[in-house]
Amino acid sequence: MRILAVGAHPDDLDILCAGTLAKYAQRGDQVFMAISTNGECGSSTLPKEEIARIREQEARSAAAIIGAELIWLGYPDEFLYENEATRLRYIDLVRETRPDVIITHDLQHDYHPDHLTTGQLLWNTRVMPAATNIKTKHPRWEKIPDLYFMDTIGGINFPPQEYVDISSTMEIKRKMLAEHRSQIDFMKKQYGMTLVEFMEICSAFRGLQASVRYAECFRRSVTFPANFQKVLP
């Protein structure tokens, strides 16, 4: 299968679904990790251009751990909006990657506007890559992918429908998240813990719910047309 995971910021996918992406990669699926914004607000000391450059490199290093292809969309951090141009860019993203499954942010329960907009863009454009009369750089992709929403940060307000046991890929997830070195001090100053510590708490909490050591959770978009075959690893 071909998997497209789309996060708003450079570390979102590593926090929320890297264990699942690692399981896809281990079984031979092709994984694409797309990042909506450049993360330029993820520092209290570095200028925008420098932190954006650093965060892109960190995201590429994390994706390389599982052999995923990283697609950097480069929109400004905290200012992602939907308009005709952005909608066309996300349609072309799906056409470029031709996924069977899309994983992205929850469009109803998340706290961050960039997360909400990313999820909304993927939901709004889910059927559009198949439309012949919508022209983008890449040709139409006739398949309508399954769409999954990943957990929210801290699991707040998220209603899980499906769990993935990531106990076997938890160490890979730790290594991917550890690549985001610029966020270690930033996260500690902001929230009093490292990214890895935060992720471990959330993964253990979801694991407790699923009766495993560590887990990630998702909910599926069941709007027409829907595929009810199991596609999560």
The pLDDT of residue 92 is 98
d(CA 41, CA 11) in angstroms, rounded, equals: 13
Please indicate, yes or no, if residue 226 is contained in any of the structural domains: no
Instruction: For residue 233, tell me if it sits in a domain.
Output: no
Tokens coding 142: 């006739």
In a domain, 228, yes or no: no
What pLDDT is attached to residue 49? 92
Q: What is the pLDDT of residue 162?
A: 96
Domain count for the chain:
1
Tell me whether residue 7 is in a domain. yes
Dihedral over Cα of 130, 99, 143, 126: its sign: negative
CATH no. for residue 154? 3.40.50.10320
Residue that has been written with the tokens 């450059």 in this structure: 53
In a domain, 62, yes or no: yes
Residue 8: inside a domain, yes or no?
A: yes
What pLDDT, on a 0 to 100 scale, did the predictor assign at position 223?
Answer: 77
Residues of the domain holding 184: 2-220
Q: How far is CA 19 from the centre of its chain?
A: 12
Q: Is 105 helix (H, G, I), strand (E, B) or coil?
A: strand
Phi and psi at 130, nearest 5°, equal: -85, -5
Inside any domain, residue 168:
yes
| pTM given for the model | 0.95
pLDDT score, position 46? 87
Domain presence at residue 114? yes
pLDDT number for residue 185: 76
Count of residues in the chain:
233
Interatomic CA distance for residues 45 and 51, integer angstroms: 9
Query: What stretches in the chain show pLDDT beneath 50?
Result: none
